[in-house]
Structure 1
Amino acid sequence: MEQYRHEHPKLRAWSWAKQGLDGSLAGALAAEVLGKTGWARSIGGANPYLGLFARAGLRREQVDADLKELRIHELPVVRGCTYVLGAEDFAWGLQLGRPAAEATVKILDKLGVERSELDALIAATLQVLQAQSALDPRQLKEQLGDAVRNLGEAGKRKGASTTLPTALGLLQSDGRIRRVPPSGRLDEQRYAYTAWGLDFSGLSDEQARRNMLGKFLAWTGGATLKQSQWFTSFTVAQTKAALLELGAVEQDGFWQLPQDRDAFEDFRAPDDEQIQLLAGTDGLTLLKRNAPELLADEDSDRSVLGEKPLGLSADLSDHPIFDRGQIIGMWQFDPGREELVAWTFRKPTAAVKKGIAEVEAYIREDLGDFRSFSLDSPKSRQKRIDALRAASSR
């Protein structure tokens, strides 16, 4: 991708536009945004909410309504990781997550759990959930009794304390049950399970992989083979086969869909500021896991709390502030003061101040706090909040 290095500002702005962060999706529905710009990573954090607010101006109430009506849902898809996606992607998205669910069966096999025992537990679990409303894992375990086996210290060491999580994972992977947050919110730490009956996609695994890679390249506007593999977990052979079927175009290791190659050549980065505050797990940085490439050269050596420079960190410890695809600062929310703490690398412009104020008001009014993941808490992030506040005052 050597030829593009000198065009980083253009490439950043191109990815920004492909992600719908340029205002082009204002007013769109949640499922449409997720289909056009990428599934939202959900690990019990608030990323899906802020991502939809940034792209389409959607408030939490509307997103929660879409979740309740199954227009969108959180499902284990690529790499077995949970993402929020639109209904049209449910079946084949789950299909991509089955290998990860099946991988846990091998762990149980090494712990002496035969497949017949696991199948019996799956059948019993489904029967319980079909007869009742949503149950959390503790309630399920109580009702299933001896059908759930405790795997002792050996199991704990392998991340499998009991046989129940594997059974639940397999049932989720083929759409027979689904996981739901009791509160109806995506930034939730607790989950329950309910029976489902999702139809199969009707696609072969090869077709599902082609779908995924086509979506990925459309969401990002282009990626390297390594970036594609990181997101999809496909093998090199599977990735190359899908790229061939898609007719993807490669130049210096950078792959694009044919229509995006032509559009990119004609693309011009906007002259005016376009400010967005996003989560550290937003698709703009996480789809290709390329946060260092989204920094200006002069900002690559910046760091927080004496950590390694931002330019060397594939994942962000704080949330980024962007202007047309370039990271221009970092932020956290302090719920104690109901205040967004922002550190911008340069003196903030009027547009930056406006963007900060809008997101601060949104978090305060709609979310109450901004967790990065399920176990995140105000106490656990206080040191980072203090460091950003100190950096912003210098």
Structure 2
Amino acid sequence: MDSATRRAWSWHKQGLDGSLAGSDAATVLSLAGWARSVGGANPYLTLYARAGIRREQADADVAALRIHELPTARGCTYVLGEDDFPWALSLGRGAAEATVKVLDKLGVERGEVAALEAQTLEILRDANGPLDPKQLKEQLGEAVRSLGDAGKKKGVATTLPTVLGLLQADGRIRRVPVNGRLDQQRYAYTAWDLSPVHESGEDARAMLMEKYLGWTGGATLKQTQWFTAFTVAQTKAALEAVDAVEPEGLWMLPRDVQAAEDFTLPPEEQIQLLAGSDSLFLLRRNAVEHFAGDDGDRALLNTKVALQADLPDHPIVDRGRIIGLWQYDPGGQRIAHWLFEPPSAPVSQRIAEVEEFIREDLGDFRSFSLDSPASRQKRIDALNAAAGQR
């Protein structure tokens, strides 16, 4: 498989070729990969690019718990579908438990943590609606211990965040976005009675491995370990559990091997504007492989665009190949973009469509919660300048 076909194969596995058009949000996230959130707009564009789902529908799915943002692999938060909630949540339990060890080093015994868990859960179960951390702290009073300067140095100012993380990892509470939107990081908490997971740790790891290899269409051992945070032994056991094979240096599901061999590069353009944190790149952190020819050697702000593990700008992509970069300029209500070659009609049309989607549905397109028009203005100016010099 040559590089262009390999890129298009990943594109196809991600459902970016139109194969997921008309699917609901939970189906998209199940088949193409959980959407990384961090308070940015990636989940919305993930759903729009693959299935044409607008923000209003996505927010309705969040409110109805058809999709939800949960901590899972590596303890990171992703938006995923309801069928994956219990077992995916179990994968993030280790990260939640790790903070307990930090508290222990600061002199907080596990019994104190358990008592605060019980009190917090009782308050949330009796509450008339979700409570934010400030409201919880007020009601819990002295049960929440301040950890002083020593705690601040370790990122734990009080005992409450650790307790909230533990309760969330067990499915006893969940975070609720205060305005119902995924592209911000202001949350309240509410009680939740998610059915406990019955799978063993080995089973959950095998389930994630099967999902991951299906989402990517194949990944190296190193890429697999980066996403899952499994140990070498756990990774090998999970690969064996799903009967994965390793043709051409990539671990793949058996059902994908023949499909990949039969796959051919689609002849027509398939244009998408994606977030830099889209699953196409984030799952394997292989953005460099999505540049063709000398495109990766092009420089923006004195840095080659392919030298960074995570894209600082959002990509314009055709069948898996990055053909340009973009940022949203809310002041001009437009997409600032730099195309490596003059645009075709499909490229111009898709830029206009995504521009309208962001303007009408989102208002802005943040990469993460603290992203702002001011913080990205330098990159917007650089994209405009690069476009003018093409």
TM-score bin, normalised by smaller chain: over 0.9
Aligned to 2:160: 164
Alignment of 1:206 with 2:202, yes or no, is yes
Aligned to 1:107: 102
Aligned to 1:320: 315
Q: Secondary structure at the match of 2:23?
A: coil
**CA offsets, 1:108-143, max 9 Å, x none?**
111110001111111111011111110111111111
Aligned to 2:272: 276
**CA offsets, 1:233-286, max 9 Å, x none?**
001110111111111111243110011011000000101100000000000000
1:251 to 235, 247, 252: 247
Paired amino acid for 2:123: V
Aligned to 1:35: 30
Alignment of 1:22 with 2:21, yes or no, is no
Cα RMSD (Å) of the superposition?
Answer: 0.8
- Give % identity: 66
Within a 5 Å distance, the mapping from 1:282-301 to structure 2 comes to 282-301=278-297
Shift of residue 200, structure 1, vs aligned partner: 1.1
The whole-number CA distance in structure 2 between the counterparts of 1:171 and 1:23 is 39
The whole-number CA distance in structure 2 between the counterparts of 1:108 and 1:44 is 26
Shift of residue 301, structure 1, vs aligned partner: 1.0
Shift of residue 303, structure 1, vs aligned partner: 2.2
Aligned to 1:332: 327
Paired amino acid for 2:243: G
The whole-number CA distance in structure 2 between the counterparts of 1:150 and 1:52 is 41
TM-score with structure 1 setting the length: 0.97
Aligned to 1:144: 140
Aligned to 1:87: 82
Q: Secondary structure at the match of 1:314?
A: coil
Shift of residue 359, structure 1, vs aligned partner: 0.3
Within a 5 Å distance, the mapping from 1:1-394 to structure 2 comes to 7-132=2-127, 133-307=129-303, 309-394=304-389
Q: Secondary structure at the match of 2:312?
A: coil
Shift of residue 297, structure 1, vs aligned partner: 2.6
**CA offsets, 1:30-62, max 9 Å, x none?**
000000000000100000000100000001011
Shift of residue 147, structure 1, vs aligned partner: 0.6
Q: Aligned pair count?
A: 388
The whole-number CA distance in structure 2 between the counterparts of 1:327 and 1:386 is 20
The whole-number CA distance in structure 2 between the counterparts of 1:342 and 1:310 is 14
Shift of residue 366, structure 1, vs aligned partner: 0.5
Paired amino acid for 1:301: D
**CA offsets, 1:186-225, max 9 Å, x none?**
0123111110000012100000000000000000000000
The whole-number CA distance in structure 2 between the counterparts of 1:10 and 1:174 is 42
The whole-number CA distance in structure 1 between the counterparts of 2:104 and 2:197 is 29
Paired amino acid for 1:122: E
**CA offsets, 1:328-378, max 9 Å, x none?**
110000111101101011111111111100000000010000011011111
The whole-number CA distance in structure 2 between the counterparts of 1:350 and 1:53 is 20
TM-score with structure 2 setting the length: 0.98
Shift of residue 305, structure 1, vs aligned partner: 1.1
| Structure 2: gaps spanning 5 or more residues | none
| Structure 1: gaps spanning 5 or more residues | none
The whole-number CA distance in structure 1 between the counterparts of 2:228 and 2:196 is 20
Q: Secondary structure at the match of 1:327?
A: strand
The whole-number CA distance in structure 1 between the counterparts of 2:90 and 2:299 is 40
**CA offsets, 1:148-203, max 9 Å, x none?**
11111111111111111100000000100000101111012311111000001210
Paired amino acid for 2:51: A
Shift of residue 311, structure 1, vs aligned partner: 2.1
The whole-number CA distance in structure 2 between the counterparts of 1:274 and 1:331 is 17
Paired amino acid for 2:16: L
Paired amino acid for 1:216: Y
**CA offsets, 1:274-320, max 9 Å, x none?**
0000000000000111000110131111121112x122211010100
The whole-number CA distance in structure 1 between the counterparts of 2:322 and 2:283 is 16
The whole-number CA distance in structure 1 between the counterparts of 2:331 and 2:157 is 36
Q: Secondary structure at the match of 2:326?
A: strand
The whole-number CA distance in structure 1 between the counterparts of 2:359 and 2:314 is 16
Paired amino acid for 2:122: Q
